[in-house]
């Protein structure tokens, strides 16, 4: 899964997207001016590759790539601060509204929900988390997943098995969580364990948990095969986090990162914001004879471009509720 430079496709973008090893594209803020423009960009992508899986990070708060002419959603922390059943209702409706808007733009998935715990330690997680209590995060995460799936969007939980304790930002450094395996299981792992049967996808963290494995979770067969697949019974898609991030450099250059992520059990690899690295990853996959498994796109692609979502009978009520609760 790669990215493109701007709001329309360049000749270089088109050549890149024609490569059979490219199975997905992720949109960033630089790619999104308005829903109309995004629909046109997606249309041009689909004309080249009808099976392309198109993703975005549209969590709300500071991580909301498309902002113009869509709802400005609150960070998940604001949902977690609500009490009891109201919090679940807010989570469900916020997820449904976001998913409906993105699907109407032609986007298949938003990488959500964040299931990390907020210990007040990690700035990169912070208010992106639903809370600190694992049972609360499990409850609200379930409601959020229900909202996504009611809209027709696949749900992707991140960042397995939990990025909230490690202080370093994996975009710029390699975070380390030195707690015991028992402590991680009793806290951060609980939302993923509770929600694994409901999730369509999971994105592991570029974090090292030395008590479990010397490798970051996204490169660890212990985490992905023994714990996530065999123990938790997760049978959906495993997306690597971006392999250009500093937290991924622990295993070597781009060819080594590709090999390590595939060996650990990742199904789709993200290589973003570095065209030279993306091309290097593609060449390596071509040399190894690795092609994108189209089952991933068919499993997750559920976009509905052009849908008049504001005419849906529950749209107005959901927006009214979030406004009433002063969340939009």
**Whole-angstrom Cα distance, residue 314 to residue 97?**
10
Under 8 Å between Cβ of 71 and 101? yes
Does 323 count as an annotated binding residue? no
Alpha helices of the chain — where are they, by DSSP H? 11-17, 35-48, 76-80, 84-104, 134-151, 181-186, 189-195, 221, 254-264, 275-288, 294-300, 315-324
Our answer to whether residue 169 is catalytic in this structure is no
Annotated ligand binding at 14? The verdict is no
Q: Is 206 annotated as a binding residue?
A: no
- Active site includes 213? no
Helix (H, G, I), strand (E, B) or coil at 239: strand
DSSP three-state, residue 50: coil
| Residue from 13, 241, 242, 267 carrying the catalytic annotation | 241
Identify the active-site residue in 171, 249, 259, 274.
Answer: 171
Q: Any known ligand binding at 62? A: no
Q: Is 190 annotated as a binding residue?
A: no
- Evaluate the CA torsion angle 18, 22, 25, 26 in order and state its sign: negative
SS3 216: strand
What is the phi-psi region of residue 296: left when phi exceeds 0, alpha when psi lies from -120 to 50, beta otherwise?
A: alpha
Which residues are known binding-site members for substrate?
57, 65, 128, 158-159
Which residues are known binding-site members?
57, 65, 128, 158-159
Give catalytic residues, as residue numbers: 171, 241
């Amino acid at each position: 899964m790669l990215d493109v430079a701007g709001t329309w496709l360049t000749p270089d973008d088109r050549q890149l997207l024609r490569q059979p090893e490219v199975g997905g594209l992720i949109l960033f803020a630089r790619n999104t001016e308005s829903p109309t423009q995004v629909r046109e960009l997606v249309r041009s992508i689909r004309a080249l590759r009808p099976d392309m899986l198109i993703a975005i990070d549209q969590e709300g708060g500071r991580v909301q790539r498309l902002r113009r002419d869509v709802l400005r959603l609150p960070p998940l922390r604001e949902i977690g601060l609500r009490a009891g059943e109201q919090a679940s209702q807010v989570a469900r409706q916020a997820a449904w509204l976001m998913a409906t808007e993105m699907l109407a733009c032609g986007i298949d998935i938003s990488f959500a929900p964040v299931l990390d715990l907020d210990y007040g330690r990690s700035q990169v997680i912070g208010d992106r988390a639903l809370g600190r209590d694992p049972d609360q995060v499990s409850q609200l995460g379930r409601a959020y997943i229900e909202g996504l799936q009611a809209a027709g969007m696949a749900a992707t939980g991140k960042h397995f098995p939990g990025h909230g304790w490690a202080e370093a930002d994996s975009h710029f450094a390699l975070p380390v969580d030195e707690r015991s395996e028992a402590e991680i299981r009793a806290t951060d792992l609980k939302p993923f364990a509770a929600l694994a049967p409901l999730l369509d996808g999971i994105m592991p963290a570029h974090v090292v948990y030395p008590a479990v494995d010397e490798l970051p979770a996204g490169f660890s067969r212990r985490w992905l095969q023994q714990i996530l697949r065999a123990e938790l019974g997760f049978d959906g898609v495993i997306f690597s986090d971006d392999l250009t991030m500093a937290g991924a450099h622990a295993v070597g250059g781009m060819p080594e990162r590709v090999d390590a992520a595939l060996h650990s059990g990742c199904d789709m690899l993200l290589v973003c914001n570095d065209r030279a690295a993306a091309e290097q990853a593609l060449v390596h996959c071509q040399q190894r004879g690795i092609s994108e498994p189209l089952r991933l796109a068919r499993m997750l692609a559920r976009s509905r471009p052009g849908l008049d979502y504001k005419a849906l009978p529950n749209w107005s009520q959901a927006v009214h509720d979030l406004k009433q609760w002063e969340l939009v």
